[in-house]
Amino acid sequence: MMTTLTAPAPAGVDTITLRRPDDWHIHLRDGPMLAAVVPYTAAQFARGIIMPNLVPPVTTPAAASAYRERIRAALPEGSDFQPMMTCYLTDATSPDEIEAGFTQGIWIAAKLYPAGATTNAHHGVTDIPALAPVLERMEKIGMPLLIHGEATDPAIDIFDREAAFMEASLLPLLARHQGLKVCVEHVTTAETADIVRAHAGRVAATITPHHLMINRTSIFQGGLRPHLYCLPVAKRERHRLALRKAATGGEACFFLGTDTAPHPKGAKESACGCAGVFLGPVALQCYAQVFDEEGALDRFEAFASLNGARFHGLEPNTGTVTLNRRAETAPETIRAGEDEVVVFRGGEALPWSLGEVTR
């Protein structure tokens, strides 16, 4: 029988059991990297929304179906993890193809990257208002839009690009397409969280573990720490605290999305390092620590297992996952073919550890 905390957890609580959670924002890459990282996600989550920013990007139903099969082939034997695919929107995306992929059950959502905003986003959208025919079709068929919400004008300070996008692009988009379901992914500011709250019901947001645990100073603490560099970049401490309040406050418009984004160690530790934090082995443990620190373990299940499913019109999972208050040290790195990938908080003793998973 599933046990779920229904009141703030006292300090003596050392085990929590949740419905099996889902990760609503994952980068699995492809090839040897996919084979290396997908077992960690599958060990923690029942389902996951897979980002489409491969090279080339996943822009057609056929490409999405083929990628889904490669993910399934890379899963450990006996795994029941379900990859949920997304369409990478471009200036040339066809409304008919969007609808075909969605009605055939190939795509669960479409992903909007402003062109050049992040890893492999140079094929992204250059003119959001011109995408209106696609967005109108999505609105009509009930297909959610997932947004990487950052402006790309190099004249805008990198720490202000999320705020600039929300003002110049997101709010006008919501006004033009009032029936469109939108998920603002990996939010990083208090102001964006407030915008999501103001439009709750048709607008939601994912929040990552690292944005709950680090601020922008962390990236430069004692020297440059490239493995904490991601996009959107971590912001000031006041924003981190606001995100912790949003994640742990019991609001249905916020839910789990790790944005786990592996890169080879050498690509991170280079003259022009890649953006992305790899959280596969430690995601739930980090979230549990945050909810524990905020005295909100009773709200963890809703954030991890219920809110995202509700937003996407899916039933919650029936299995469970147990976390134990027992220190466990994650590996510093994992192997991915000939490369290594650095694990977020790898080599540290995390206060929570992953326990039994049931289906």
- Residues tagged in the binding site annotation: 25, 27-29, 53, 111, 148, 186, 231, 259, 263, 275
**Can you point out the beta strands (E) in the chain?**
15-19, 22-26, 47-50, 82-88, 107-112, 145-147, 182-184, 203-207, 254-256, 320-324, 328-329, 333-336, 339-342, 349-350, 353-358
Give kind and range of the element (H or E) at residue 195.
helix 190-198
**Burial class of residue 91 (count of CB atoms within 10 Å of its CB; 0-12, 13-18, 19+):** middle
What does the CA dihedral 156, 160, 162, 168 come to, rounded to 10 degrees? -60
Task: List the binding residues for Zn(2+).
Answer: 25, 27, 111, 148, 186, 259
Task: List the binding residues for substrate.
Answer: 27-29, 53, 148, 231, 263, 275
Distance of CA 286 to the CA centre of its chain: 14
DSSP codes, 18-85: EEPPEEEEE---SHHHHHHHHHHHHHH-SEEEEP---SS---SHHHHHHHHHHHHHHSPTT---EEEE
Q: Which among 284, 301, 267 is positioned nearest to 344, based on CA atoms? A: 284
Q: Which of 259, 292, 298, 339 is catalytic?
A: 259
Residue 283: strand, helix, or coil: helix
Active site residue 259: yes
Amino acid at 79: S
Residues with active-site annotation: 259
